[in-house]
A and B are shown apart, each in its own frame.
Chain A
Amino acid sequence: MSDTTEMTLEQREATIGGIGCSRRRKEDIRFIQGKGNYVDDVKLPGQVFGDFVRSPHAHARIKSIDTEKSKALPGVLAVLTADDLKPLNLHWMPTLAGDSQAVLADEKVHFQNQEVAFVIGEDRYAVSDGVQAVEVDYEDLPALVDPKRALAKDAPVLREDVAAKDNVGQGPRKHPNHIFTWDIGDKGETDQAFSGAAVTVKEEIFYHRVHPCPLEPCGCVASMDKIKGELTLYGTFQAPHVIRTVVSLISGLPEHKIRVIAPDIGGGFGNKVGAYAGYVCATVATIVLGRPVKWVESRIDNLSTTSFARDYHMTGELAADKDGRITGLRVNVLADHGAFNSHAQPSKWPAGFFNIVTGSYDIPAAYVSVDGVYTNKAPGGVAYRCSFRVTEASYLIERMIDVLAQKVGVDKAEIRLRNFVKPEQFPYKSCLDWEYDSGDYHTALNKVLDAVGYKALREEQAEKRKRGELMGIGFATFTEIVGAGPSRNCDILGIGMFDSCEIRIHPTGSAVARLGTKSQGQGHETTYAQIIATELGLPSDDITVEEGDTDTAPYGLGTYGSRSTPVAGAAAAQAARKIRAKAQKIAAHMLEVAEGDLEWEIDRFKVKGLPEKTATMKQIAFAAYQSVPEGLEPGLEAVNYYDPPNFTYPFGAYLCVVDVDRLTGEVKVRRFYALDDCGTRINPMIIEGQVHGGLAEAFGIAMGQELTFDENGNIQGASLMDYFLPTAVETPVWETDHTVTPSPHHPIGAKGVGESPNVGGVSAISNAVVDAFAHLGVTHMPMPHTPWRVWKQCEALGIGE
């Protein structure tokens, strides 16, 4: 009863193209022909454009705004200011962190390039003229740039709107510029570990302000159908359903009258999670004008206003015995959140999952305290290929363990092996309250040491040092926490951070699957189809995956924090399993046996002991619409909302070798070996691609990217003329490897991988640079390791000339 009986098991597996194979991507065929559909490609009848008048000042009072000359220009249709939004109560919007954020500056501006007015016109050029013609009179105020000054008695008060509040959404405050204090761990026990320690080390570690800078900037097209009262909002949304709920909550439009569509997205890396002023202004403008309104930010707008990352001023301390076995960890953080607390992360976690800071190490006692403060800089704070502050945490512990290794005189690989959580300790409960699902750190690091010939590298380094040459070897043996998250710990706007998948099998055995996530380049159309293919025995080529349209996809929390595979991937497997359970009932009916007499084999059920009696999934699909057993509904579809029981904990062992030119400060990454363990591997080609990309971003962060400000709060280097995006020439060659330690709680054992290379890559590169100077007594060098900074280090050591 099968059309594939002549095929071998291997051939049938190959036909399915399921989990584990490096299938070429379904999405590529449109992108390589220029037929992607990104938000700026959306062109609706009657569409007009909008753009912002932005503040040249970081901190100023707005005395007046004159829009008359602008409005008189040909092609300019309207100019919106905070006063126009006030009657709608849309001049401020709530942030996901419990604070509020100005949509258009209301009486004051709080950072340079803040949105002051929104000009709408017939085309981009008319709008540009209109923006220039708006006259704003400012009274300059002293800018607060250094977060270390934020809590001083005489510091300028930035947020007059909340100055009197004792809480702006994340706990008690102690100063008008203070946002929250968050702490975790046993302080007393940690203090005790330090007081009795044979060795202690302490280091000031600053993770600088960077920006994800996806190649496509943020944008939207808002279109109000006044007759139907329906709003359609196209945009660069990593989390389209959340955007729909936010738009409904702040606009008052009922949620069923809002359709949010995220078309193809040109990279996100966290930059496209948040809700920005442009989305609100375009929405108001379409409601006012009755015409579709497009807003797309420029690169300078993107770098200077939409969600930066990091800006964590950390002090790390380790206590250890004389052999370098860690007995305690203490971390204090001053977090610069900018002018509004609008970081997009689970609402109970003001410092994200920073308490993953014990990393891959079995640390008995730890205490972490984080203070968030306002400064006159753009808001944001968690974006950039990172699961909610894991990157900062991992950088801190990976740097600190090197500092400790140097102090006790133990090799930097050996100190890691001594402190790793051991395989038999999993599931491992960390002293900062996480339960690591699975891991095998020793195997991973040993595999890397063997692959690169570590002993020989250290010998080469010793030889070079004798000759006065600088060579560094850096490690990162990181553990991530991804897959946010269990609804008991994680929510956004009170909505649990589950995700979802709906699968419909058509009568002829092809299928459509819709999910609550949204790919920005990760290849979901390919990988989700592979999961479903394996679960259902249908060829992945015959499974269409759709995301990003809130009218069709089930509610989900979106794609960020490496959560798609751990959460929505699990939902896909679970929904498929529901379908397979129903298919089994239908197969039993078809084959006239009891359900229990059937067993599953790749793409079909077969009767136990009668291997020729089979029903393929394709045959079952047709039967589901033709002759189901009595009492069973026709059709073959299922939906699953997956609330993960735990996070997943991908890990890796990275090794980086650098050569440093002491006369120029130039650092050359000679070798980079990245071993990742993301559990079950769905598509090795895509995993490897993600690792390459994450490492290249890590290289940019470690070696050159930084957003800095002068003392007046002027942002410096917010264009691609200055902001370092590595080209193919600077970017090193990456070597990849893997081990597979499946997640025990995930339906297919997968953990997620997209952010691992960024988390581990930055630390490995930075550690290699510092290691090049370790024999000269250097324990830390602040990123980014530009030639100038590295040369200054050489100069300070008297080896720069």
Chain B
Amino acid sequence: MNKTAVKMTVNGQAVEGKAEPRLLLIHFLRDELGLTGPHVGCETSHCGACTVDLDGKSVKSCTVFAVQAEGANITTVEGMANADGSLSALQEGFMQEHGLQCGYCTPGMIMRAHRLLQENPNPSEAEIRMGIAGNLCRCTGYQNIVKAVRYAADKLNGQREAAE
């Protein structure tokens, strides 16, 4: 099948590649760019393991074609660390609150939580649960994921207050 040239920005870097029109964004990221943080768990956009941030929205990259992401600005879990390379508040929260076990849902979960906190910097427990309802986890029972998101919210809010 004919391939189309695609260009996008991924984790702050301009990237380009060639993609069949049917190539899914998740496969472009994983197979072409070697970004294996986002995972495939269901191919039907239910599990959220493939969640990435695309132009300021959480998307499930298993149901986006690579060509649809032409010109887009994408962040994956690989781009989540702070500028100095230290762990972001969310990454730290997942570790401190034991918000992961097998780690397969974690990249998608962190990306979704990242966008959630952009939209709502101070979410209640119910808002966190609703906010991550598109991401499935089989190991943790979600309780510690909720705590991890709350940990990050508190840390980021504390940093904001200190800066103000």
Contacts and interface: CB of A to CB of B under 8 A. Distances in A.
Q: Which 7 A-B pairs have the closest CB atoms?
A: A34-B37, A31-B103, A266-B104, A521-B102, A696-B141, A692-B141, A521-B101
Given A521-B102, A728-B128, A33 B91 contact: yes
A580 to B, nearest CB: 30
A199 to B, nearest CB: 38
A216 B41 contact: yes
Interface in A32-51: 32-38, 40-41, 43
B39 A216 contact: yes
B101 A35 contact: no
Interface in A249-296: 264-267, 269, 296
B138 A269 contact: yes
Interface in A1-52: 24-25, 27-38, 40-41, 43
Contact of A215 (B38, B104, B134): B104
Given A28-B94, A34-B107, A216 B102 contact: yes
B15 interface: no
Contacts of B91: 32-33
Contacts of A734: 141, 143
10 contacts: A31-B107, A33-B81, A33-B91, A34-B38, A34-B107, A216-B102, A266-B104, A267-B138, A267-B139, A727-B135
Most buried by B among A33, A43, A734: A33
B41 A217 contact: yes
B35 interface: yes
Given A692-B143, A695-B141, A731-B141, A36 B130 contact: no
A125 B104 contact: no
B100 to A, nearest CB: 6
B28 to A, nearest CB: 12
A587 B110 CA distance: 49
Contacts of B95: 24-25, 28-29, 32
A37 B102 CA distance: 11
A554 B139 CA distance: 28
A31 B46 CA distance: 21
B129 interface: yes
B145 A728 contact: yes
Interface in B116-149: 128-130, 132-146
A515 B143 CA distance: 30
Nearest to A735: B143
Interface of A: 24-25, 27-38, 40-41, 43, 123-125, 213-217, 264-267, 269, 296, 298-299, 520-523, 685-686, 688-690, 692-697, 719-721, 725, 727-729, 731, 733-734
A689 B137 contact: no
B159 interface: no
A692 B145 CA distance: 11
A697 to B, nearest CB: 7
B42 interface: yes
Contact of B142 (A217, A264, A298, A731): A731
B154 interface: no
B37 A35 contact: yes
A40 B27 CA distance: 11
A728 B39 contact: no
Interface string B23-52: 100010011001111111111101101000
A41 B103 CA distance: 13
B70 interface: no
Interface in B77-104: 77-78, 80-81, 87, 91, 94-96, 98, 100-104
Contacts of A523: 101
A267 B102 contact: yes
Contacts of A721: 44, 46
A269 to B, nearest CB: 7
B76 interface: yes
A215 B37 contact: no
A33 B80 contact: yes
A215 B43 contact: no
